[in-house]
Structure 1
């Protein structure tokens, strides 16, 4: 399965920057933004600003089984990088 990767940088409540990728099945920037907001709300960052400025299409790649299963179950997968909670 090919997935589309949206590179995302968001400022947290305490002003540190969280860097994560949103993996989704369709190339849809608005959907990626909505999923980013949904995930941020789930970690208590409801007020984080996410727009096409913070969440941008990066590339398309083949997905691993774990990613595919998560996308099938919830619509997206978050790949956490710098500044994200464990």
Structure 2
């Protein structure tokens, strides 16, 4: 599966910066990638308002590894947590 990567930054409820990537199937709109990022923030107890379209930008496309592809098929997206994020699920 080919995926698009959206480099994303959000502000947590405590005011710290969270950096994460939203992985979606190639061809998914930027608006949908943003919505997935906001959905993930809500799922970890953060405000979806912490992520704005201007902070969720297309970065590149790549081939997904099997684990990521499986998660995207089942959930529509995959989040790669980086700086300032809670422990990965």
TM-score bucket of the superposed structures, by smaller chain: over 0.9
TM-score computed with the length of structure 2 as normaliser: 0.91
Q: Check conservation: 1:13, 1:47, Cα contact below 8 A.
A: no
- Which residue of structure 1 aligns with residue 10 of structure 2? 10
**Structure 1: 5+ residue stretches without partners:** none
Aligned: 1:52 with 2:50: no
TM-score computed with the length of structure 1 as normaliser: 0.94
Call closer, same or farther: CA 1:47–1:31 in 2, change over 3 Å. Answer: closer
- Which residue of structure 2 aligns with residue 28 of structure 1? 29
Offset at residue 46 of structure 1 (A): 2.3
Aligned length: 86
Offset at residue 6 of structure 1 (A): 0.2
Q: Please give the alpha-carbon distance, in whole angstroms, between the structure 2 residues aligned to 1:47 and 1:16.
A: 14
Call closer, same or farther: CA 1:32–1:13 in 2, change over 3 Å. Answer: same
Q: Check conservation: 2:7, 2:56, Cα contact below 8 A.
A: yes
Question: Per residue, is there more helix in 1 or in 2?
Answer: 2
- Which residue of structure 1 aligns with residue 68 of structure 2? 67
Aligned: 1:80 with 2:71: no
**Structure 2: 5+ residue stretches without partners:** none
